[in-house]
Chains A and B, each alone.
Chain A
Amino acid sequence: MLAYLAENLPTIIGAGIVVAVLALIGVKLVRDHRRHRGGCACGCDGCPNAGACHPK
Chain B
Amino acid sequence: MDIRIALAGNPNCGKTTLFNDLTGSAQYVGNWPGVTVERKEGRLKGRRDVVIEDLPGIYSLSPYTLEEVVARGYLVKERPDAILNIVDGTNIERNLYLTTQLMELGIPVVVAVNMMDLVQKNGDAISLDKLGQMLGCEVVTMSALKGQGSVEAALRAVKAAQEKKEAALPNVFTGSVERAIAHIEESIAEVVDKRSLRWHAVKLFERDRKEREALDLSPALKERLEAHIAKCEEELDDDAESIITNQRYAYIRRVVERAVRKRAAGHALTASDRIDRVVTNRLLALPIFAAVMAFVYWVSISTVGDWVTGWTNDVLFGEMICGNLRAFMEGAGCAPWLTGLVADGIVGGVGSVIGFVPQMLILFLMLSILEDVGYMARVAFIMDRIFRKFGLSGKSFIPMLISSGCGVPGVMASRTIENDRDRKMTVMTTCFIPCGAKMPIIGLFAGALFGGSGLVATSAYFIGVAAVILSGILLKKTKLFAGDPAPFVMELPAYHVPAAANVLRSTWERGWSFIKRAGTVILASAVILWFLQSFGVVDGALQMVEDNNTSLLAAIGNVVAPLFAPLGFGSWKAAVATFTGLIAKENVVGTFGVLYGFAEVAEDGAEIWSLLAQDFTQLTAYSFMIFNLLCAPCFAAMGAIKREMNSAKWTFTAIGYMCGFAYAASLIVYQLGMLLHGGGFTVGTAAAVLALAALVYLVVRKNRHGRAAGAATSVRAASLE
Contacts and interface: CB of A to CB of B under 8 A. Distances in A.
Partners in one complex: yes
Contact of B408 (A8, A26, A42, A46): A42
B338 A43 contact: no
Given A29-B521, A48-B27, A14 B342 contact: yes
B244 interface: no
B520 interface: yes
B643 A39 contact: no
Contact of A22 (B334, B408, B524): B524
Contacts of A29: 520-521, 524
Given A18-B527, A46-B509, A47-B28, A41 B520 contact: no
Interface in B113-161: none
B333 A10 contact: yes
Interface string B20-49: 000000111010000111100000000000
Interface in A18-43: 18, 21-22, 25-26, 28-29, 38-43
A41 B333 contact: no
Interface in B308-362: 329, 332-335, 338, 341-342, 346
Size category of the binding interface on chain A: 20 to 34
Contacts of A18: 338, 341-342, 346, 527
A45 B38 CA distance: 13
A26 B524 contact: yes
Nearest to B521: A39
Contact of A40 (B27, B408, B506): B408
Given A28-B520, A41-B406, A41-B510, A8 B335 contact: yes
B interface, over-half SS:
helix
B720 to A, nearest CB: 21
B425 interface: no
A43 B520 contact: no
B413 A41 contact: no
Contacts of A49: 37-38, 409, 412-413, 415
A52 interface: yes
B35 A39 contact: no
Contacts of A41: 405-406, 408, 435-437, 510, 513-514, 517, 584, 586, 634, 636
A48 B37 contact: yes
Contacts of A51: 38
B656 interface: no
Nearest to A17: B342
B510 A40 contact: no
Interface in B355-406: 405-406
A48 to B, nearest CB: 5
B409 A40 contact: yes
B406 A40 contact: yes
Given A14-B342, A41-B437, A48 B513 contact: no
A1 to B, nearest CB: 18
B329 A14 contact: yes
Interface of A: 8, 10-11, 14-15, 18, 21-22, 25-26, 28-29, 38-43, 45-52
20 contacts: A10-B334, A11-B338, A14-B329, A18-B341, A25-B524, A38-B408, A38-B640, A40-B407, A40-B640, A41-B517, A41-B584, A42-B408, A42-B513, A46-B506, A48-B35, A48-B36, A48-B38, A48-B409, A50-B38, A51-B38
Given A14-B329, A22-B527, A40-B513, 17 more contacts: A14-B332, A14-B334, A14-B338, A18-B338, A39-B634, A40-B640, A41-B405, A41-B408, A41-B437, A41-B517, A41-B586, A41-B634, A42-B406, A43-B512, A45-B509, A46-B505, A49-B415
Interface of B: 26-28, 30, 35-38, 329, 332-335, 338, 341-342, 346, 405-409, 412-413, 415, 435-437, 505-506, 509-510, 512-514, 517, 519-521, 523-524, 527, 584, 586, 634-637, 639-640, 643
